[in-house]
Amino acid sequence: MNILKPSSISLKDMLEEKHLSLSPQNYRKIAIKNPHVVKISDLLDENSKYNKGTEVGGKSYVEFSTYKFIRNSNVSKLSNIVDLKNSLSIKPNDFSVALKLNNEDILLATDANISDTNLFIQDSELDSNEYMFSSGLVRVNPRSDIDKFFLLSLLKDDYFKEQLEAMTPKGSTIRHSKDFFLKCLVPIPSDEQMWIVPIISNLMKNICYMEAHSSISMDKIFSYYENILNLEVEVKETRISSLLSTNRLDAGLYSYDVKRFFARLNSIESYSLKDLGYKIRRGVNLAKRDLGRSLKTDVYRKNYYRLVYPSDISENGYINKITYLGTASKIWFLEEKDILFSAEGNVGKTFTICDANIRFTTNFHGIIITPITKEAANIEDSIFISTFLFYMKKIGIIDKISVGGQGGSFATNYWDILQFPELSNSIKQSISILYHNPANDFNPIKFNSAAIQTMGVYQINEMRIVCLSLITSILTDLKNNKLQNEIHYANFIS
């Protein structure tokens, strides 16, 4: 894509676009080679193109309610589904029935995190809450003949995002794009190319439902640890001797929550990382002086290395984003049974390598937890260590025992305080199946709800990467007016 800035702007242009702005930024054009483009408004229902949310106000928030409020922070560019876990509870009387979200509604951010778009997915069997949304969001209503997952893929694409960014005035503390999104252009296939629509739709639908299932699986894993550590224990006051023995003055380390957590661990059989047969080391330094010349891209390149930044591990266990690294020098990979731990910034997120199929490297901000003896270790132990650390992150323990600001740091010299509970083999096996359970003959270009329900978090990560990469490749070809045949994209998967 090329960004085109006009050499002149007429008063008529300014009035038609309703910018009333003298900034050329608001009049730049985003060009693609495909002439088959339509406005977003052309794909939406004529009677109700969108519904704008409303603000309920701080006085409406309560500690618990079955009525929930979705804000801009619950919609993310990295995710494809709305974050329901961090929604706010509100008073029943302040709930708007007209703005009640239904399963598979599309939400688009028009304020603050402008252009971020997510699908609302609610499992009614697990979640009986009702949800509405804030004024910084709109619910887009596609026409009855427009596939909503195809529309979602177009709204997630950079072509749409860059246009909306260009149209939105800058300078204010919180940016507002109003209804400018209706004028953004998106590419559509020609009549002979409409076969690609169900493929894109199925890819996006698989991604959304895999993300939702991964979230459910991680919650089930965490529930095992919750049940094991649901113990009544005595929490003792902090003594000077404790400060001297740990040689740390961090307030969080001596908080009630941290002391209760470790008191519960100490009341049952628990082990150190070394006792379990594992050690830690830092990720590699990717500086030019150590790596040499290199190229990084977000688009898949054959023979490039996969690079995973620890910050790109999602709260639901999978990896949000893969960067592809091309370098003349050889670099090492994380191997089967290794664990990636985010040691700086958003500390505590983990990802386990469960087979030899996935190979990636990481940077210095990651810590690698690896078996002291590979042959003696088993994958169940690696998954147990990884998910228990993630559980500590979820309940806030890792954040409290980390040091420093900007998200904190948990360097290698702090690991001696960690303990892991003894688990029965049956519990370890149950946790392992939730994390690592291959689906049989899953075809990314076909939507298969039953197969997704059996997938482990690890397999969801792999299939999600494939689906995202293929959507990116298809939409890039569509924008460049170079759409390939179905066999080409099938070979891409293989």
pLDDT digits (tens, 9 = 90+) for 119-164: 999 998 889 999 999 999 999 999 999 999 999 999 999 999 999 9
CA angle 364, 276, 347 (to 5 degrees): 35
358-359-361-367 Cα dihedral, nearest 10 degrees: 60
User: Residue ranges of the chain with pLDDT lower than 50?
Assistant: none
Instruction: Look up residue 481 and give its two tokens.
Output: 């007016």
As a residue count, the chain comes to 494
pLDDT digits (tens, 9 = 90+) for 23-76: 665 666 677 888 899 999 999 999 999 999 999 988 999 999 999 999 999 999
pLDDT value at position 300? 75
pLDDT value at position 18? 53
CA angle 75, 77, 78 (to 5 degrees): 105
Q: In whole angstroms, what is the distance from residue 286 CA to residue 156 CA?
A: 30
Confidence (pTM):
0.90
Distance, C-alpha 254 to centroid of its chain: 32
HSE of 54, CA atoms in CB hemisphere, 13 A: 12
Closest CA to 160 of 199, 195, 116, 119: 116
At 147, the amino acid letter reads D
**Range list of H helices, 96-231:** 148-156, 158-167, 196-228
- Which helix (H) or strand (E) segment is 327 a member of? strand 323-327
- Which helix (H) or strand (E) segment is 246 a member of? helix 240-246
357-334-326-77 Cα dihedral, nearest 10 degrees: 80
Closest CA to 474 of 76, 157, 178: 157
Q: In whole angstroms, what is the distance from residue 253 CA to residue 414 CA?
A: 11
pLDDT value at position 270? 92
At 206, the amino acid letter reads N
Q: Is 319 exposed, middle or buried (0-12, 13-18, 19+ CB in 10 A)?
A: buried
HSE of 188, CA atoms in CB hemisphere, 13 A: 15
Distance, C-alpha 284 to centroid of its chain: 24
| Helix orientation angle between 457-479 and 486-493, rounded to the nearest 10 degrees | 150
pLDDT value at position 336? 93
Q: In whole angstroms, what is the distance from residue 492 CA to residue 289 CA?
A: 35
CA angle 391, 432, 364 (to 5 degrees): 55
Closest CA to 50 of 124, 137, 122, 111: 137
437-438-444-449 Cα dihedral, nearest 10 degrees: -50
Beta strands in 78-182, from DSSP E residues, in sequence order? 88-89, 105-109, 117-120, 130-133, 137-140
Instruction: Look up residue 116 and give its two tokens.
Output: 């971020």
CA max distance for the chain: 77
Residue 287's CB is within 10 A of a number of other CB atoms, namely: 10
